Amino acid sequence: MRGQAYFEADWRREQLRTNLWLVPIVQTLGIVLLFALTYAIDRTAYDGIITLPSWVLNGSADSARAVLATIAAAIITVVGIVFSITIVALTLASTQFGPRMLRNFVRDPGTQVSLGTFVASFSYATISLVSVGGGPHGDFVPHLSITVTFILTLVDVAVLIFFFNHIAAMIQLPVVIARIAQTLAVEIDNLDPGESYGVGALRGPSREELLENLAESGAPIVTPRSGYLQVIRHDVLVKIATKANAVVQLPYRPGHFLVAGQVVAWVWPPEAAPAVATRLALGHVTGAYRTLPQDISFGFDQLVEIALRALSPAVNDTFTGMTCIDWIADCLCRISTSWRPQRVRRDAKGNIRVIAFVADFNRLVERTFDTIRQAAAGMPAIMIRQLDALAKVIEQTPDRKRRTVLIREADAIQRLNLATVSEPTDRDDVTRRYEVIMALVDPNAPPRLGEIQSIADSNGDGSHYDKASPAL
């Protein structure tokens, strides 16, 4: 597991990756260096010092200008088409998947590299065109640079084919959902399971004692600007609090929206608040949007948002909603056994310096299942898939306290089933899945909610149709 250094590095990478200019600029700079090398070789060959290989293209200055101008014009036309397709894909993503999915498309490396390749090739062709001119030995023609331009043109054709295929695959809903879930899984796997931060033997007041002191006489520190709390540099806060011999309590976690003047931290003893406040801006970052590092609930929210759009009356895409539930279950299974959010950070001597607020397992389960359940009234297929997901998570959750919230969600789904599903066979489908969950928890437990109609002969022959199973 990587710790705080990972979060800060990942947050910085997130800022650099979420744009369409960085990769094209880097590739353009690289192609300029390549041209400097080929131009130097061309000049050396022009002066008669070396002889270029036979595979290097030859021709007059006029033909070189015509070829390079044609290639540059063709590439810049392709660049315009590629940018247009990218904008169309971003518009489609915003409409179909939600505006918060745009950043996932903008930060896609395939799109960035494709755009950068075309821009870099255009730059190389343009610089090569400008380099054609007179010289002491007649017209100077950069034969090697022209040859490289042709090679780059062939590369551009391959990249264009890749780009079309990449865009076609990237806008498919199952792919979008899987990519979000996989990114979320990476962040979950890199969460530090420890309860404390720092080294050295534990010493000083306990967390409970410090919380009591903070509640009684802690001094508030307000945020100077509005925005989403994106990242908290806990190691910086530990150093700040250690230098001031203070304890800092953070009432909000990354992902919360803060308004200017809102309390962002509490400090004890209160006389240390001014020293901490002057440097607190170094310990946290706010911005116009949420980011996934340190805020795994944002990843769950993205999956929930797609599910809600799919289940809306305007779309009515049940299978997309079921796909989202499947991936939510996968991510919950990853955190159900070993995730223990860090709440306390200690200095090198073992004293508590930072008390953080983090999302817990119960809250993640509630924010993912409650909203989808509320949108799934009268939809037995979604209820069945949610109960199946809960069964998978329960099987991998040995903690009895964490199982409680999962059972509570199953109870709520069953109540919704009995209240909103009018078809008896559909109610029986959902009820049977609910009873499977109850059997996982306690095989001897009786039915928990109301009278359950027998489903043994629902089809008259002892068989039963399962709406959550693949069609036969």
Query: What pLDDT, in 10s, does the model give residues 51-64?
Result: 999 999 888 999 99
Of 307, 469, 267, 266, nearest in space to 381 by CA: 469
Of 268, 174, 181, 172, nearest in space to 218 by CA: 268
Of the pLDDT bands very low, low, confident and very high (cuts 50, 70, 90), residue 234 is confident
In a domain, 366, yes or no: no
Q: Give yes or no: residues 152 and 251 share one domain.
A: no
What would the pLDDT profile of 244-266 be if each residue is shown by its tens digit? Answer: 889 999 998 888 999 988 998 99
Q: Give yes or no: residues 167 and 204 share one domain.
A: no
Our count of domains for the chain comes to 3
Question: For position 446, what pLDDT does the model report?
Answer: 57
Write the DSSP symbol of residue 282.
G
Q: Give yes or no: residues 335 and 465 share one domain.
A: no
* Cα–Cα dist 222/455, whole Å: 60
Of the pLDDT bands very low, low, confident and very high (cuts 50, 70, 90), residue 358 is confident
In a domain, 184, yes or no: no
Q: CB burial class (10 A; 0-12, 13-18, 19+) of residue 200?
A: exposed
Q: Give yes or no: residues 427 and 327 share one domain.
A: no
* Cα–Cα dist 307/97, whole Å: 9
Q: Give yes or no: residues 216 and 162 share one domain.
A: no
Q: Give yes or no: residues 284 and 348 share one domain.
A: yes
In a domain, 185, yes or no: no
Instruction: Give the rounded percent of residues in the chain with a pLDDT score beyond 90.
Output: 43
Q: Give yes or no: residues 457 and 326 share one domain.
A: no
Domain ranges, residue 229: 194-359
In a domain, 216, yes or no: yes
Q: Give yes or no: residues 243 and 155 share one domain.
A: no
Question: For position 187, what pLDDT does the model report?
Answer: 82
Question: For position 1, what pLDDT does the model report?
Answer: 36
Q: How far does Cα 273 stand from its chain's mean position?
A: 35
* Cα–Cα dist 98/83, whole Å: 21
In a domain, 243, yes or no: yes
What would the pLDDT profile of 95-123 be if each residue is shown by its tens digit? Answer: 777 777 777 778 888 889 999 999 999 99
Of the pLDDT bands very low, low, confident and very high (cuts 50, 70, 90), residue 459 is very low
Instruction: Tell me the average pLDDT of the chain.
Output: 84
Q: Residue 24 above 70 pLDDT?
A: yes
Question: For position 91, what pLDDT does the model report?
Answer: 81
Question: For position 430, what pLDDT does the model report?
Answer: 95
Residue-wise over 17-50: b if at least 16 C-beta within 10 A, else e? beebeebbeebbeebeeebeebbebbeebbeeee
Cβ–Cβ < 8 Å for 360, 420:
no
Of the pLDDT bands very low, low, confident and very high (cuts 50, 70, 90), residue 435 is very high
Q: Give yes or no: residues 162 and 204 share one domain.
A: no
Q: Residue 452 above 80 pLDDT?
A: no
pTM over cut 0.75: yes
In a domain, 295, yes or no: yes
Q: Give yes or no: residues 16 and 164 share one domain.
A: yes
Cβ–Cβ < 8 Å for 430, 387:
yes
Q: Report the side by side order of strands in the sheet with 227-232.
A: 257-258, 227-232, 284-287
Q: Give yes or no: residues 353 and 380 share one domain.
A: no
